[in-house]
């Protein structure tokens, strides 16, 4: 599809600087822009590219001050990144959606199916499962028995939703993710060296407007439910253990792991490779820096870093000192030698 600067500015409520009739039919990074493409500039680190980009249209923040003239048509908006995301959503929605049920799929006769289901090759839907309207199940999706899935849900190839789990409306789950695998529960038997598996009889409940990346494991509860709140966004390669609860609108970034029965508040940000121990409480709005190890509960809006983690402001000061330790070590050694010499001469 092709759009003019005038059409894009009208949709975004932006202001044009340049040729309002120039058109685009593609998107590109600002440093890789070609004629006919749309780019955006939100990060000041990339401002240097705007003066040489060949992109036909560039979205920029309305308050950005340019150092010299540009050759491209600009559209000034309140937030260039958000505006660009809105355009991508518009483009995605305009694409034709797959429809129909593959002859290679297997849907149990007791399953309840909503309107406009798409089921690709080798999709399997179990007994007494319920699917809402406009659900899209790509190839090799497995849905177990007694599962409930809401409206407008997309499950990408190879997603597994195991028995008794519940997924709300408008959710997207990417390839390879498993919802409802057994929690890691093993009891050491008295007088024995081996551990006995504890049956995991709970489920997973996922709220509305949740997106989960690829190759994520969300374990079912031992009893009760593992819960993912509304609006939660999860990156790839994440482990969520049994009985964990994640509050609304929280973010969990790649390779993070949350141990059993920990409660994560609302609007929490958990950065990459964070490890959180079990049975803790993380307050609303807390921010946990990359690779942090959390072994104690956090208060609301607390910001931590390090392993074990502590206040991010103290951590930054400590990190600055850490880099100077070799120099400080030499100074201390020299001071000790000076003291020893003084004692000898005295």
**Rounded Cα–Cα distance for residues 201 and 223 (Å):** 6
CA 42 to chain centroid = 20
**Rounded Cα–Cα distance for residues 206 and 277 (Å):** 22
Name the residue with tokens 């407007």.
Answer: 209
242 is catalytic: yes
The DSSP secondary structure of 67-111, one letter per residue, reads SS--SSEEEEES-HHHHHHHHHHHHHHHSPPP-EE-TT-EE-TT-
Q: Which residue of the set 128, 174, 242, 296 is catalytic?
A: 242
Q: Which two tokens stand for residue 122?
A: 């080798």
Which letter does DSSP use for residue 66 in this model? P
User: Is-contact 9 15, C-beta < 8 A?
Assistant: yes
**Rounded Cα–Cα distance for residues 143 and 141 (Å):** 7
Q: Which two tokens stand for residue 266?
A: 């609302």
User: Is-contact 302 289, C-beta < 8 A?
Assistant: no
**Rounded Cα–Cα distance for residues 198 and 204 (Å):** 17
Q: Which two tokens stand for residue 183?
A: 């929690």
Q: Which two tokens stand for residue 61?
A: 């923040």
User: Is-contact 4 22, C-beta < 8 A?
Assistant: yes
Active site residues: 242
């Amino acid at each position: 599809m092709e759009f003019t600067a005038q059409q894009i500015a009208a949709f975004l409520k932006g202001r044009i600087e340049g040729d309002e009739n120039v058109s685009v039919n593609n998107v590109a990074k600002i440093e890789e822009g070609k004629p006919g493409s749309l780019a955006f500039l939100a990060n000041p680190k990339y401002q240097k590219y705007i003066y040489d980009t060949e992109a036909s249209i560039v979205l920029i923040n309305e308050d950005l001050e340019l150092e010299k003239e540009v050759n491209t048509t600009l559209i000034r908006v309140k937030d260039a990144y958000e505006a660009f995301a809105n355009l991508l959503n518009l483009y995605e929605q305009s694409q034709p959606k797959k429809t129909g049920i593959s002859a290679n799929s297997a849907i149990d006769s007791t399953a309840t199916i909503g309107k406009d289901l798409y089921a690709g090759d080798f999709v399997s839907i179990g007994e007494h499962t319920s699917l809402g309207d406009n659900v899209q199940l790509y190839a090799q999706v497995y849905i177990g028995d007694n599962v409930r899935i809401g409206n407008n849900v997309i499950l990408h190839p190879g997603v597994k939703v195991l028995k008794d789990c519940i997924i709300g409306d408008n959710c997207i789950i990417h390839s390879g993710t498993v919802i409802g695998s057994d929690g890691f529960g093993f009891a050491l038997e008295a007088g024995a060296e081996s551990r006995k598996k504890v049956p995991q009889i709970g489920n997973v409940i996922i709220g509305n407007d949740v997106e989960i990346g690829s190759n994520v494991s969300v374990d079912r509860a031992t009893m009760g439910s593992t819960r993912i709140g509304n609006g939660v966004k999860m990156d790839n390669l994440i482990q969520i253990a049994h009985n964990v609860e994640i509050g609304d609108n929280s973010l969990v970034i790649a390779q993070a792991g949350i141990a059993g029965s920990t409660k994560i508040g609302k609007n929490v940000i958990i950065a990459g490779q964070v490890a959180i121990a079990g049975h803790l409480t993380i307050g609303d709005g807390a921010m946990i820096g990359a690779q942090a190890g959390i072994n104690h509960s956090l208060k609301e809006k607390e910001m931590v870093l390090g392993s074990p983690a502590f206040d991010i402001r103290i951590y930054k000061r400590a990190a600055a000192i850490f880099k100077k330790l070799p120099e400080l070590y030499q100074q201390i050694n020299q001071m000790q030698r000076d003291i020893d010499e003084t004692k000898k001469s005295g």
